[in-house]
Amino acid sequence: MKLTYIYHSGFAIEGDGFTIIIDYYKDSDDNKSKGIVYSELLKREGKLYVLSTHSHHDHFNKEILKWQQERPDIIYIFSKDIYINQKAADDAGIYMNKLDTYKDSTLSVQLFGSTDLGGSFLIRTKDKTIFHAGDLNNWHWNEESTPEEIKEAEDFYSRELNPLADNVKHLNLAMFPIDKRLGKDYMKGAEQFVKTIKTDIFVPMHFSENGYESIAPFAPIAESYDTKYICWSHRGESIEF
């Protein structure tokens, strides 16, 4: 299978006879005719799934709803907050509450929790188990937070991470936020994740466009848990897994 980093928290997964686009915000190139979504993926044969974990503008772009004009066969799978927050009509796609599952002959998608809006996606194909965290993370700013606020953030993260760990012991691939805006402990949630769930390949997301250097320090941490770490260098970069 092939994973492509599109932008921010947006990714594409290409498998045999299917394509998954998750949390599209912008294409891999500001000139859409050169971006992977418009130049390749919307034209790729096979099933096309478009997933959005929640309604924040950097995870859900209404532009994706127009793709149906070119690809009327798209299967849209959204967290229900996208409908609740009136970002899409009630018939725009399949809306999921926490722990709901969509399943067909190609894949299954289950919505797990988040420490922000919406949820996170556990995706199972014939031979891969994949996770996209959405905005699930240990969101705290230790330099600015009180001990009580830090404990609250820790507890919240544990409450959402542990049910996932109870349902999946091994991931082939995980996409997870590493956002330096959190301050000195910005990699803490990611380390807790790979410590809790055996992960073969870990890929960062949710970093700023000028922040590629900020994701590099997680490499030795991931490797200490026998996890391969992908340090992106540009939009549109791909790996085989």
| pLDDT (tens digit per residue) in 71-86 | 999 999 999 999 999 9
Confidence of residue 93 (pLDDT cuts 50, 70, 90): very high
- In 10 A of CB 69, how many CB atoms? 8
pLDDT of residue 141: 78
What are the pLDDT digits (tens) for 138-164?
998 777 889 899 999 999 999 999 999
The single-letter DSSP state of residue 180 is G
Query: What does the alpha-carbon distance between residue 226 and residue 5 come to, in Å, rounded to a whole number?
Result: 22
Which domain covers residue 116, as residue numbers?
2-240
pLDDT mean across residues, the chain: 96
Mean pLDDT value of segment 129-137 = 98
pLDDT at 208: 85
Q: Give the C-alpha separation, 197 to 213, whole Å.
A: 26
Alpha-carbon gap, residue 122 to 99, rounded angstroms: 10
Strand residue runs (E) in the chain: 2-7, 10-15, 18-22, 47-52, 75-79, 94-96, 101-103, 108-112, 120-124, 129-132, 170-177, 198-205, 228-229, 238-240
Lowest mean pLDDT among 16-30, 109-123, 138-152: 138-152
> Which residues, at least 6 apart from 78, have a Cβ–Cβ distance to it below 8 Å?
51, 52, 60, 88, 92, 93, 94, 95, 96
Q: Residue 131 is part of a domain; what is its CATH number?
A: 3.60.15.10
Q: How far is CA 153 from the centre of its chain?
A: 20
Whole-angstrom CA distances from 38 to 58, 64, 154, 200, 209 are: 18, 11, 40, 30, 20
pLDDT at 76: 98
- How far apart, in whole angstroms, are the C-alpha atoms of residue 226 and residue 220? 10
Sign of CA dihedral 216, 182, 209, 64: positive
pTM of the model: 0.96
Domain count, the chain: 1
